[in-house]
Amino acid sequence: MIFSAKKSEDSTIVELLALSLRRDIAFGTLLPDQKLKLNELRTRYGGSNHSMRETLRILTSEGLVEATAQRGFRVTSATEDDLRDIALVRVEVEKIALSRAIELGDVAWEGRVMAAHHALQKAEAALRDAPDDLTALEWDEACRAFALALLEACDSPRLLDTHAKFFDQSRRFRLALMREGKLDWAARKARQKALLDAILSKDKARAIELLQADIEAELKPK
């Protein structure tokens, strides 16, 4: 029992550390290609050497961090080629998952999609009216929740895991556009409403077309 409790405590610490580093990579606090030194990370985020190494191992498996031979860890690059590749994978994976979700989803799923859409619209309005770190973080989480809600009825944990991995890799590109004032809020709102309507009407072809357009609007190199 003692060993079990310790393992649970360590797991919780690692989860919290991973959450903090994911956020700071997404928001550009930790920059692309930046070296990640254990002592500096522990000073900044806390945790032990073991918990920080485990955190970096998890983020490496998610594609947010790279392990370099004999050189430790660094934040993954964020080039136009990276952007193109992430967009390609997200489009293909999410098209399959959304198609299955529309086929398999029930009324309860539709209700969760509607709720997530409503929450996203409120978060976007709050960010436009009062842009700061808090509203940006809430908006980022609402984007994630809406993207997941669209796909969660696909009945494939592996599709959802792959979606989560590449969605996290795409976050910093979308957040960079937001910080630079390059997001077309009106166009986003129209696409998301049209996507919701297509899902509720079971128009699979239209929903997939709109989903692809929504991903590519933020992840195609400009």
Query: How many CB atoms sit inside 10 A of residue 153's CB?
Result: 21
Helix (H) or strand (E) holding 68: strand 65-68
**Do residues 192 and 120 touch, judged by C-beta distance below 8 A?**
yes
Q: Under CATH, which architecture does the 80-219 domain have?
A: Up-down Bundle (1.20)
* DSSP output for 87-98: HHHHHHHHHHHH
204, 76 Cβ separation under 8 angstroms: no
- What's domain 2-75's architecture? Orthogonal Bundle (1.10)
pTM of the model: 0.84
Query: What is the rounded distance in angstroms from the CA atom of residue 144 to the CA atom of residue 201?
Result: 23
Question: What are the residue boundaries of the structural domains of the chain, listed by start?
Answer: 2-75, 80-219
Which tens digit of pLDDT belongs to each residue from 59-115?
Answer: 999 999 999 877 789 999 999 999 999 999 999 999 999 999 999 999 999 999 999
Q: Which 3 state secondary structure label does DSSP give 72?
A: strand
Order of strands across the sheet that contains 65-68: 35-36, 72-75, 65-68
> Using one digit for the tens of pLDDT, what is the confidence trace for 186-207?
999 999 999 999 999 999 999 9
